[in-house]
Amino acid sequence: MSDEDIHLFRSLLPDALKESFLKLSPRVQFRNPVMFVAYLAAILMTVKTISVAFSGESFWYEFQISLWLWFTVLFANFASALAESRGKAQAATLRNQAEMVAKKLVDGKVKIVGAKELKSGDLILCEAGDFIPADGDVVKGIATVDESAITGESAPVIRESGGDSSAVTAGTKVLSEEITISVTSEPGSTFLDRMIALIEGASRQKTPNEIALSIVLSALTIIFLLVVISVKLYSDYYEKSVEKSLNPITLTALVALLVCLIPTTISALLNAIGIAGMDRLVRRNVIAKSGRAIEAAGDIDLLVLDKTGTITLGNRMATEFIPGDGITEKELAEISQLASLSDETPEGRSIVVLAKEKFDLRVPIPEEKITKFIPFSSYTRMSGIDILDEAGRVVRSIRKGTIDAIKKFIERQGGNFSPELLDKMERISREGGTPIAVADNGRVIGGIYLKDIIKGGIKERFAALRKMGIRTLMITGDNPLTAAFIAAEAGVDDYIAQATPEMKLSRIREEQALGHLVAMTGDGTNDAPALAQADVGVSMNTGTQPSREAGNMVDLSNNPTQLIDIVEIGKQLLMTRGALTTFSIANDVAKYFAIIPAIFGSLYATEAGKGPLTILNIMRLHSPKSSILSAVIFNALIIIVLIPLALKGVAYCSASASYLLRRNLMIYGVGGIILPFIGIKFIDLIITFFWQTI
């Protein structure tokens, strides 16, 4: 455990201990059927202890049993309380941000109101230095926004009206300029409010797997309850049939047998495992809207990823000007720079920068009255400029854009694409780059080499996913040649080139129809349908409001590669639950060999009061009472021992399901059988050392 974890544990300990006692309410205990049985057993033994004390007999043994039964319940409460306290500590700083004021625009005038009074559709003004009081979309203006309080990233981001960078989040701060925001959230339901509720675990619902496991554990508890009752009935019947007085099976022994047999260990930790899974996501700056989403992440077998920003670094940069016949590289750079002046995308800006750096070009902007700028559009996939004469007629038309877009553009003007230049563009695609064509007055004069770099280690991560049986599908708007090159270099299993929103949605539905669980990431409004359709949809916090509402997870740090981490966390959650369930069932074996001989050791006794079942006391425990007490103490202490594992999770490794199953059976199955034998024997030695008469 790191120093940071130790410091965090110490700070959370007082609240967790207090909450452990508050959770002793019957209403709280009833939610966990297995621990509710242990809770009733503790109450029953407390009444038994008081009864023995008033009878004048020694009650030390009964007191010890009842005390450790209460510890069992309290330790289970402590596990849940500690997991919840970690979330509450993370939400504390966010809650302070929820109390803000807003500059509401009413009939064009500013009115100061509380953030909680804002409703969907209200317009608010945020100036430099203001905190954004509600979720919304920028409808006017542009500003730099500090989102570090939400995302943890110190670098400010640009938020502007229109496009996919218009969404703003409550609790973030405007650093410069001013923006007008249309509120998209109702009071108390902002993204910040939902974050606080999710982090604290207040709205955490049990997942289908948790519910199924709880039903199984409850069924086992009922079976063991019937077994314990039948044990008492059989003992009484045997005593009457042989007409011989035997050592009676006491209520204390039966209660201890029941509590040690029922799966208290996993039941005590089940809630903590689920909360800790969400907490691990929060530590990675990802908010899951439900525990179901985390579990689904652990079960997915198809990962759908965008190329740009996920597999590659994104922001393709211009690296080379490729002139055609009859034009120099400098002339091409000058025309390309002019065509990119109205292109605000990172690619467009990189073309302007490359021309400046390579040829020290600073193209003067023509006078407005004789120019018409053509901004870049995702629909036209072009940008450029038209030079007009005094009559407003176009005398020169310059365009820069994708090969297909430029080809269609010049064909409409009666021009054509030279085969030699087209071969050069195809070479760029084969090398994994993106070719951009430049046209001047209906003639393609050259191209620009845009390059995107594969992220380091991404190929190894995809290989690790493949070992786990997870396929990867890359989706990109690039042409098929570029997509094929990137797919081969990154090591993805399949790819879709020149993808549209409809193609994404259709492919996800096809895969789900074949029985696959699909995860994907996105940030734009056009990604919303696919995010909603995917079993795990991770939307970027910087994305549009529709995309954030469509996904069942939100990545606050806006790092699409976290989708791979989310899958690993989901698998770790399932592994942890499976491992501790295996351990919980396996450690009951040692308790059988401790309590069964203690209860039935004198059954069918032939000599010295010992019967044939005495041979089951393979641990050579001191006496029946010390055996029962040792088992009860171990049953309580093992919960505390396993709390760090439940919160941290079982160590994750990329491997097949069969290998992980074998490993968990060896570590937590065999280990769960062996460890309790050692633990119970050690506790028995301590008990008999301090309490010789037991």
The residues that bridge with 373 in the sheet, in sequence order, are 385
- Looking at the fold, whether 65 and 208 belong to one and the same domain comes out as yes
Domain-located, residue 422: no
User: How far is Cα 261 from Cα 144, in angstroms, rounded to an integer?
Assistant: 61
Mean pLDDT is highest, among 48-57, 472-481, 518-527, for 48-57
Has residue 40 got a pLDDT over 90?
yes
pLDDT of residue 33: 92
Domain end marker among 527, 558, 589: 558
Q: Could you tell me if residue 420 is inside a domain?
A: no
Residue 565 and residue 572 in contact, taking contact as beta carbons nearer than 8 Å: no
Same-domain status, 586 and 603: yes
Is the pLDDT assigned to residue 245 strictly greater than 60?
no
DSSP string, 152-206: ---S-EEEESSTTS-EE-TT-EE-SSEEEEEE-S-TT-SHHHHHHHHHHTTTPPP
* Whole-angstrom distance, CA of residue 356 vs CA of residue 234: 95
104 and 160 co-located in one domain: yes
Model pLDDT, residue 634? 95
pLDDT tens digits, one per residue of 557-583: 766 667 778 888 888 888 899 899 999
d(Cα 84, Cα 279) in Å, to the nearest integer?
9
Query: So what's the pLDDT on residue 674?
Result: 93
Residue 337 neighbours by CB under 8 Å, 6+ apart: 351, 352, 355, 356, 361, 363
Residue 99 identity (one-letter amino acid): E
Say whether 306 is catalytic.
yes
- The residue ranking higher by pLDDT, 497 or 316, is 497
Are 458 and 550 in a shared domain?
A: yes
Query: For residue 568, which amino acid is it?
Result: E
d(CA 191, CA 169): 7
Predicted confidence (pLDDT) per residue in 124-151, tens digit: 999 888 888 888 888 888 888 887 666 6
> Torsion over CA of 393, 399, 403 and 408, rounded to 10 degrees?
-10
Cα–Cα separations (whole angstroms), residue 185 to 148, 190, 271, 329, 646? 21, 5, 31, 52, 36
CATH of residue 491's domain is: 3.40.50.1000
Q: Is residue 456 pLDDT above 60, yes or no?
A: yes
pLDDT, mean of residues 384-388? 87
Tokens of 205: 């619902």
User: Quick check: is 84 in a domain?
Assistant: yes
Q: What is the pLDDT of residue 67?
A: 95
Type and span of the H or E element at 605: none
> Residue 602 pLDDT more than 90?
no
Which of 574, 567, 466, 471 minimizes the C-alpha distance to 521?
567
Give 137's strand partners: 167, 182
Question: Torsions phi, psi of 392, nearest 5?
Answer: 85, 10
Is 50 exceeded by the pLDDT of residue 41? yes
Co-location of 154 and 7 in the same domain: no
Higher local confidence (pLDDT), 46 or 207 = 46
The verdict on 344 and 411 lying in the same domain is yes
Is residue 421 assigned to a domain? no
Residues facing 397 on adjacent strands: 386
Indicate the Cα dihedral angle 389, 393, 396, 399, nearest 10°.
130
**pLDDT surpassing 70 at residue 692:** no
Tell me if 564 is assigned to some domain: no
The answer on 224 and 133 residing in a single domain is no
pLDDT tens column, 344-385: 777 888 888 888 888 888 766 555 557 888 888 767 788 898
For 466-492, give the secondary structure using H, E and C. Answer: HHCCCEEEEECCCCHHHHHHHHHHHCC
The two structure tokens encoding residue 43? 């109450």
> In CATH, what number is assigned to the domain containing residue 142?
2.70.150.10
Dist. CA 340–CA 69, nearest whole Å: 75
Q: What average pLDDT does the segment 146-161 reach?
A: 70
Which pLDDT score is estimated for 377?
76
Q: Which of 39, 12, 4 shows the shortest CA–CA distance to 643?
A: 12
pLDDT for residue 246 is more than 60: no
Q: How many residues are present in the chain?
A: 694
Active-site residue (options: 193, 306, 343, 452): 306
Nearest to 147 by CA among 483, 495, 543: 543
Which CATH number goes with the domain that contains 339?
3.40.1110.10
Q: Give per-residue pLDDT as tens, 672-686.
A: 999 999 999 999 999
Report how far apart, in Å, the C-alpha atoms of 343 and of each of 58, 335, 397, 497 are: 89, 14, 16, 23
Q: Is 95 exposed, middle or buried (0-12, 13-18, 19+ CB in 10 A)?
A: middle
pLDDT value, residue 202:
41
Are residue 587 and residue 634 in the same domain, yes or no?
A: yes
CB 297 within 8 A of CB 570: yes
Task: Give me the pLDDT at residue 196, please.
Answer: 66
Q: What's the number of domains the chain is made of?
A: 4
Return the bridge partners of 138, or none.
181
318 found inside a domain: no
Model confidence band, residue 264 (pLDDT cutoffs 50, 70, 90): very high
- Domain membership flag for residue 34: yes
Domain termination site, one of 168, 200, 232? 200
Last residue of a domain, one of 152, 171, 200: 200
Q: Binning pLDDT at 50, 70 and 90, where does residue 237 land?
A: confident
User: Domain range holding 348?
Assistant: 323-415+427-449
Residue 204 has pLDDT above 60, yes or no: no
Residue 299: what pLDDT? 85
Residue 529 has pLDDT above 80, yes or no: yes
- Are 96 and 38 within 8 A, CB to CB? no
Mean per-residue pLDDT, 276-290: 79
Statement to judge: residues 72 and 206 lie in one domain: yes
What is the number of H-type helices and E-type strands within the chain? Answer: 24, 21
Residues 355, 431 within the same domain: yes
| Shared domain check, 408 and 350 | yes
Mean pLDDT of the chain: 82
Same domain flag for 73 and 219: yes
User: Residue 298 burial (CB < 10 Å; 0-12/13-18/19+)?
Assistant: buried
Q: What is the Cα gyration radius of the chain?
A: 34
Residue 563: inside a domain, yes or no? no
Q: What are phi and psi of 652, to 5 degrees?
A: -95, 145
For residues 147 and 97, the answer to whether their CB atoms sit within 8 Å is: no
Q: Does the structure show a pLDDT above 80 at 18?
A: yes
Instruction: Residue 354: name the closest of 155, 590, 346, 106 by CA.
Output: 346
